Structure 1
Amino acid sequence: MKRFVLVLILLFGICLFSQTTTKTLFEDGWKIFGKESFIEKPSLPLTMIVYGDSRWGNQTHRRLVELMDEYKPSVVVHLGDMVNSGDNQKEWEIFFEITLPLRSYAFFQPVKGNHEKPDVYYNQHFGLYNYWARVEDYVFIFLDPDTGVKRCESFIRSIDLSGKIPIVFLHYPIFSGGPHGKTQTVKNLQVLHNVFRELNVPLIFSAHDHNYQRIVKDTVTYIVTGGGGAPLYRVEPIEGLLVGAVVHHFVKVDLHRDRIECEVISVNGEIIDSFTISVRSSF
C-alpha cells in the first residue's frame, strides 16, 4: 500500500513538473527553471505566435491555444497578464495546464504584466524581466517597463544590434486607441518611440488593452494584441491607427530573412488583419 501511494505521489510530481516546465530563449542559449544551457535554437524561416491578456478567460484562452497549436509555432510569446492575480497559485496551475500543448515543443517567452503582481509566482516560474534572445539576424527584446523607462532604454542600447533586425515585446503599449492609451503609464513610455526609430526597430508588440490594433508611426509598426481571453475593450481612432478590432485573437508571425509576415487570427479562426514588413538582411 505504501509503495502504491509513493508511486501516485511520483506520478503527480511528474505531471505537475510537465505542466510547469518551460523552455525559454535567453541571449544565445535557453533557460529552464533558471538553469542555462546551450542547445539548438530555431532557425529561419520560423513561425512565432504572439498574444496577451488571457487572465481569467480560460475557455477563450483554451480555444485560442487549440488554434495556435495547428500552426506548430517554434516560439510563443505571451505579453503578460497570464493570470488575473499574480499571487493566486490555482490560476497559475490553470494557465500552465492550458498552455501545455504549446510549451511541450515551443520556446515560451514570458513578458511580465501588471496582473502578474505580486510577482512571487512569476519569479518562481520565470524570473525574467528585461532580457533578449537572438535567432540568426533577428533579436527579440523583452521589456518590463515597471523596472523604469530609463532602465528599459539603457537595456535596449546595451544590446549589440549592428546588422540585426530587432523586434520588441512589452506588456504596456506605446500608443493605443484603447482605454489605457490615455494613462500616464503609456504616455511615459512614448519617449521610447525615438529610440525605436533611431535603432531601426520595425515592429513592436504590446498588450494591456484587450483588443487588436495596428498603428504605424514614422515607419515603425506597433501592434496591440491583448485578446487572449480577458474582457474586451473598445478602440477609438488615434493618429496612425490603420486597423482596430474588438475581438479575441492572436498574431501569427512568420519570420523570413527579408520580411516579416503577420496574420491576425480571431477565436473563430477568421483572419482579421494581415500585413508584411520588408526588413534588411545581412545574410
Structure 2
Amino acid sequence: MTRSIFLFLAASLALFAQSSGQLLSEPGPTFRIADAQLPSPLTLISFGDQRFTDPANVRSTNPRVRRWLVNQIAAEGPAGIIMNGDIPLSGDVVNDYAVFQSETKPWRDAHLRVFPALGNHELHGDLEQALDHWWTTFPDLRSRRWYSVQFGSRVYLLALDSDTSLLPGSEQARWIDAQIKDLPSSIDFVIVALHHPPVADVQQHIQVSHNPRPNEIALRDYLSRAAATSHAVFLVTAGHIHNYERAAYEGVTYLVSGGGGAVPYYVERTPEDQYKSVVFPNYHYVKLTVGKDRMHGDMYRVVDPEADTLRIEIRDSFDIAAKPGPPDRQR
C-alpha cells in the first residue's frame, strides 16, 4: 500500500507527542501549520461518507460521483480536506484503502493535506486489523484515534472518534476539555469533525438508527457550555447521514456533510434545519473560507448525478461571525 496523503506537506508541520504514552497528555495541538504555509484566504473543505471500494460496487456507493468530487476538490486547492468518516466501505478490507489511494491521487499531485476522522465503517470486521489498515493508510496518526490541528493563528481543528466514549469523564472528553481550555488567544474558529452527528433532523420513519445518540448528545451539551465562555466560535461537521443538514444549537453551528458518494439517504427535514431545500440526492462538499471577521461556508452540490456531464452548484451558504476581540488583537 502506498504511503498516506495525510499531512502530505510534512515540512510545514510541527509534530508533537511522539511517544504513545504522551499522545493524550501533551498540551497544545497535535499538528501545527504556520501562517506562512497557508494560502490567503484560508480555505478548508469538509465532506464525509465516500465509502471507497471496488468501483464495480454501485449499490453501496456511486463511484462515478465519488471520483468526480475528488477531482473537484483537487481543483479547489484547499489548505486542508476534512473527512468526516466512512472513508472505506469496510475497514477490514485492505483493497478499499487501495481504491482510496488510487482515486485520490489528484490530491497527492496537488500536494493537499488530508485530515480524517474515524467512522463506523473504518471499524468494520476485525477491529485490530481494521485499525491497522487505518494507521497504515494514515501513518502520522499511528496510535491516535483523535487529534488536533492548528491552522495558522486563527483556526483549530479537533478530529474526534465518535465510536469511542464522549461522555463526561471519559478519556476523550477530558482531552477535548483540555484542548479547548488551552486554545491560543488568537484562535477565532474551532472546527470539530466527527462521524456521528450531535445535532441532526430527528427521524420518525426512516433511518431512525442514525438519529443523534447519547454519546454525541453529551458532546453537544459540552460544546454549548464551552461556546458560552470561549473567545472562539465553534463549527461541528459530521457525517453518517448521507445527506446535507445545517442547524444552530446554543451558539454552535452544526453541519451534516455525508454526501461524499455513499448511497444517499432521504431526510425528513425538521423546523430546526436551516437548509430547507427538498432536492434529492445531495452529493456534495462544503467549502469553508476564513475572512477577516467571519467564516463563510458554501455547500457545493452535484446537480444531477445521472447526467452525462456532471456539474456543481452552490445550494447553501452561511456565515459564522468571529467574536469581537480586544482592541489590540490583530486579524
Shorter-chain TM band: 0.7 to 0.9
The question of whether the paired residues in 2 share the 8 Å contact of 1:74 and 1:107 is answered with: yes
Say how many residue pairs are matched: 264
Does 1:238 pair with 2:255?
Answer: no
* Distance of aligned partners of 1:252 and 1:146 in 2 relative to their CA distance in 1, 3 Å threshold: same
Q: Note the 1:69-80 alignment, pairs <5 A.
A: 69-80=74-85
Distance change in 2, residues 1:239/1:46 (3 Å): same
Q: Secondary structure at the match of 2:156?
A: strand
1:140 pairs with 2:164: no
Structure 1 residue 156 displacement after superposition: 1.8
Q: Give percent identity, aligned residues only.
A: 28
Q: Given the alignment of the two structures, is residue 248 of structure 1 paired with residue 248 of structure 2, yes or no? A: no
Residue in 1 aligned with 2:299? Answer: 264
- CA gap of 1:271–1:133, structure 2 versus 1, over 3 A, is same
Q: Which digits, 9 at most, give the CA deviation of each residue in 1:117-138, with x for residues without a partner?
A: 1322012222342211112121
- Deviations along 1:151-195, one digit per CA (max 9) or x if unpaired, are 333112212124223121111110111631154554454433434
2:183 to 161, 165, 189: 161
- Correspondence 1:119 to 2:149: no
Q: Which residue of 204, 229, 253 corresponds with 1:221?
A: 253
- The alignment's C-alpha RMSD in Å is 2.7
Q: Please say which of residues 240-249 and 53-62 is displaced more in the overlay.
A: 240-249
Structure 1 residue 175 corresponds to structure 2 residue 199: yes
Query: For the residues of structure 1 that align with 2:288 and 2:32, how far apart are their CA atoms?
Result: 26
Shift of 1:66: 1.7
Shift of 1:196: 4.3
Please list, as runs of the form range in 1=range in 2, the aligned pairs for 1:185-204 lying within 5 A after superposition. 185-198=215-228, 199=230, 200-204=232-236
The structure-2 alpha-carbon separation of the partners of 1:252 and 1:182, relative to structure 1 and needing over 3 Å to count, comes to closer
Cα distance in 1 for residues equivalent to 2:246 and 2:269: 11
Whether the 8 Å contact between 2:88 and 2:121 is mirrored in structure 1 is yes
CA distance in structure 1 between the partners assigned to 2:80 and 2:268 by the alignment:
31
User: 1:81 aligns to what?
Assistant: 86
Instruction: State how far apart, in whole Å, the 2-side matches of 1:190 and 1:38 are.
Output: 27
Shift of residue 207, structure 1, vs aligned partner: 0.6
Contact (CA 8 Å) 2:288, 2:298: kept in 1 or not? yes
What is the Cα deviation at residue 65 of structure 1?
Answer: 1.2
Asked whether the equivalents of residues 24 and 109 of structure 1 are also in contact (C-alpha less than 8 Å), the reply is no
Relative to the length of structure 2, the TM-score reads 0.71
Q: Normalising to structure 1: TM-score of the pair?
A: 0.83
Residue 24 and residue 190 in structure 1: after superposition, are their counterparts in 2 closer, same or farther (change >3 A)? farther
Which structure: greater helix fraction? 1
C-alpha distance in structure 1 between counterparts of 2:72 and 2:276, whole Å: 21
The 5-angstrom pairing of residues 96-107 of structure 1 reads: 96-104=101-109, 105-107=111-113
CA separation of 1:244 and 1:155: change in aligned 2, threshold 3 A: farther
Distance 1:247 1:196 in 2: 31
Deviation at 1:88, TM superposition (A): 0.7
Distance 1:196 1:114, change over 3 A: farther
Alpha carbons 1:175, 1:222 under 8 Å: kept? yes
Find the aligned partners of 1:262 and 1:148 in 2 and give their Cα distance: 29
Q: Tell me by how many angstroms 1:244 deviates.
A: 5.1
d(CA) in 1 for partners of 2:233, 2:8: 22
The structure where strand makes up a greater share of residues is 1
For structure 1, which segment, 58-67 or 176-185, has the greater mean C-alpha deviation from structure 2 after superposition? 176-185
Structure 1 stretches lacking a partner, 5+ long: 1-15
1:209 maps to: 241
Q: Which moved more, 1:157-166 or 1:136-145?
A: 157-166
